[in-house]
């Protein structure tokens, strides 16, 4: 099935549209961007290129979540899983980039010999990149995403009921805000070492931020204050997640660096940095 290009050109800010009719106008540009980013990865292996692809796929997953109430549950779950799998493939290389960047920023680990593992880190990064490229190439991203878009658009366009776009957007943003507030409340009560509670806040905040970016022109009310909060959460909790993921990655792959330098200094610094950033994240939660 081919997607009606006229639907993709529809202005999603048109308040007279139904949510079903507006879907393609939101989804088609995201699909095109993800396909373009995946194609560029063959030529550009920079951290920024990988980050752009992963973000594009995350935005697609969030959009499909937003339209979940209008879609058959099983199919929607499969589509979101597809975007998650593709993002994970791209993310494997990105995780090494973050670890390398973090260790390069720390003077103490450099003095203590952790810089000796730098060549091995680059080798691991190259190996992950080759795996990412192979996975994304074999997956035929262009075909998969076009197929997902066409399938979902067909389901929505053949639905008997119609829901006003503004009403739909307001409801989905409100639901996402409730989820974020609940997770923030749990994280405030959680023990300091409970990273999962903090991670859940980050995920809920990211999802809400994407929805506000999608629907902001047609939403009721002013969401500027919430966006400012989300930017704070994204920055503070994002840096925490980078350290936690890097610590796990280095620990799980310690065997790769045997004989190439002392990884203990790097792991020790990452542990200290994790605790520091956990305190910072907890402090932000108390203020919000």
Burial category of 158 from C-beta neighbours within 10 Å (exposed 0-12, middle 13-18, buried 19 and up):
exposed
**Residue 115 confidence (pLDDT):** 54
- Sign of the alpha-carbon torsion through 84, 85, 90, 96: positive
- The CATH architecture annotation of domain 18-287 reads Alpha solenoid (1.40)
Quote the CA–CA distance of 18 and 92 in Å, as a whole number: 38
Inter-residue contact 94 to 54 (CB < 8 Å): yes
**Residue 2 confidence (pLDDT):** 52
**Residue 1 confidence (pLDDT):** 46
| Interhelix angle 47-66/19-40, nearest 10 degrees | 160
**Residue 108 confidence (pLDDT):** 57
**Residue 200 confidence (pLDDT):** 95
Q: Where are the domains of the chain?
A: 18-287
Quote the CA–CA distance of 78 and 151 in Å, as a whole number: 12
**Residue 151 confidence (pLDDT):** 93
- In the chain (288 residues long), the average pLDDT of successive 10-residue segments reads 50 74 95 90 78 89 93 86 87 89 73 65 89 83 92 91 94 95 93 88 94 93 90 94 95 80 82 94 92
**Residue 14 confidence (pLDDT):** 60
**Residue 7 confidence (pLDDT):** 47
**Residue 50 confidence (pLDDT):** 77
């Amino acid at each position: 099935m081919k997607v009606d290009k006229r639907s993709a050109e529809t202005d999603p800010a048109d308040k007279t549209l139904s949510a079903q009719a507006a879907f393609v106008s939101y989804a088609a540009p995201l699909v095109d961007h993800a396909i373009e980013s995946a194609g560029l990865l063959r030529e550009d292996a920079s951290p920024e290129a990988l980050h752009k692809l992963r973000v594009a796929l995350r935005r697609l997953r969030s959009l499909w979540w937003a339209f979940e109430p209008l879609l058959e549950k099983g199919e929607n779950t499969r589509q979101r899983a597809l975007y998650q799998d593709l993002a994970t493939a791209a993310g494997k290389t990105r995780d090494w980039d973050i670890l390398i960047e973090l260790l390069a920023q720390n003077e103490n680990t450099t003095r203590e010999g952790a810089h000796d593992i730098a060549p091995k880190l680059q080798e691991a990064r190259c190996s992950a990149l080759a795996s990412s490229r192979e996975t994304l190439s074999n997956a035929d991203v262009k075909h998969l995403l076009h197929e997902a878009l066409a399938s979902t658009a067909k389901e929505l366009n053949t639905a008997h009921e119609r829901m006003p776009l503004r009403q739909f957007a307001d409801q989905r943003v409100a639901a996402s805000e409730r989820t974020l507030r609940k997770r923030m409340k749990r994280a405030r009560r959680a023990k300091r070492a409970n990273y999962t509670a903090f991670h859940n806040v980050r995920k809920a905040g990211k999802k809400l931020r994407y929805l506000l970016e999608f629907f902001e022109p047609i939403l009721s009310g002013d969401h500027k204050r919430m966006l400012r909060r989300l930017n704070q959460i994204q920055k503070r909790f994002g840096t925490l997640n980078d350290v936690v993921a890097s610590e796990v990655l280095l620990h799980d792959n310690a065997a790769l660096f045997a004989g190439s330098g002392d990884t203990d200094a790097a792991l020790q610094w990452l542990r200290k940095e994790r605790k520091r950033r956990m305190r910072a994240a907890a402090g932000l939660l108390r203020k919000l």
